[in-house]
Amino acid sequence: MSEKLQKVLARAGLGSRRKMEVVIQEGRVSVDGKVVGLGERVTDVQVIRVDGHIVKNLTPENTMCRILAYNKPEGEICTRSDEEGRTTVFERLPSLKGARWISIGRLDINTSGLLLFTTDGEFANKMMHPSQQIEREYAVRIFGDVTEAILNRLRMGVQLEDGEAKFLDIKESGGEGINRWFHVVLTEGRTREVRRLWESQGLQVSRLMRVRYGNITLSKQLPQGGWHELNLKEVNYLRKLVDMPKETESKVKVDVTESKFTNPQARIRRAVKKHAQHRKAGERRRTKTRTRS
């Protein structure tokens, strides 16, 4: 059996099929040592390279779609590595054999809350595509005088530098005076969109946290820096949103009526604390090295 090359590359998590088509057209992909063009089909026994690096051909049959829900703290960045030594969202995730975690979207360094990861690159790309219109809900603390006229404009739509944007829903959720909390819902994932919408009205966002993606909500029991793996029912709910076939097995060995956490809360908190201690020790070592040099 053979598949289109761009589909195989997308499944490996290198980007969307359209992006992979561009990479192929640029002559950056080889199969069995020969540079190939668009329209190439490959089998799981052929050696694929992108920019000289081998890409593992993950067929649907040998790939289980796993999804993690991660509670991202402020200060972490959504890249695999950082030249400045800042903490990345991938550092605390469980290790994998023969696969890697791919983030479904991003949160900026000053935003906390729910971030999803998966082992299925094609699924990740479909989830992130603007056409899917999947709801994201955020809790946001606003500094400034929020009037009903401002809320109406944000519901109706305002013009940003990259086009019109709006909140599908806005609900007050506490606070008083010039520091008030709101829950807002949108279906796009444009860069800093929530912040830019409020800033367009002369208001300042002092805290921002994503609390829901689709119907997957951030559990109050999950500490910052902690993660849990979604069960089969939750995985298939998300796959159905993007018209992908159901998974038939899962690494989570609990009934859907039981706790969703694969680790007891005490273990999650210990892991978060251990990671924080490891980061601090590394920072102290780097500081000593710089001082000596």
Is the pLDDT at 191 greater than 70? The verdict is: yes
3-state secondary structure 18-39: HHHHHHHHCCCEEECCEECCCC
CB neighbour list of residue 285: distance below 8 Å, 6 or more residues apart: none
Q: Where are the alpha helices (DSSP H) in the chain?
A: 5-11, 17-25, 121-128, 148-156, 193-199, 232-241, 265-292
Note the pLDDT tens digit of each residue in 58-110. 666 567 899 999 999 999 999 888 888 889 999 999 988 767 899 999 999 99
Note the pLDDT tens digit of each residue in 14-62. 877 888 999 999 999 999 999 999 999 999 889 999 999 998 876 665 6
**pLDDT top residue among 112 and 290:** 112
Closest C-alpha to 180, from 222, 148, 153, 225: 148
58/213 Cα distance (integer angstroms): 26
- Neighbouring-strand partners of residue 181: 141
92/47 Cα distance (integer angstroms): 31
Note the pLDDT tens digit of each residue in 127-148. 988 888 899 999 999 999 999 9
Q: How far apart are the first and last CA of the chain?
A: 57
pLDDT at residue 277, rounded to an integer: 60
166/168 Cα distance (integer angstroms): 6
- Neighbouring-strand partners of residue 171: 183
Is the pLDDT at 264 greater than 80? The verdict is: no
pLDDT at residue 291, rounded to an integer: 60
Q: Report the run of H or E that residue 3 belongs to, with start and end.
A: strand 3-4
Show which residues are catalytic. 108
Closest C-alpha to 161, from 190, 119, 121, 125: 190
Count the alpha carbons within 13 Å of 134 in the hemisphere toward its beta carbon.
Answer: 23
Backbone angles phi, psi at 139, to 5 degrees: -95, 130
Place of tokens 């902690």: 226
pLDDT at residue 260, rounded to an integer: 46
* Inter-residue contact 256 to 233 (CB < 8 Å): yes
Q: Which of 126-135, 244-253, 258-267 has the lowest mean pLDDT?
A: 258-267
Domains of the chain with CATH codes: 3-62 (3.10.290.10), 67-130+217-285 (3.30.2350.10), 135-213 (3.30.2350.10)
Q: How many Cβ atoms sit within 10 Å of the Cβ of residue 215?
A: 11
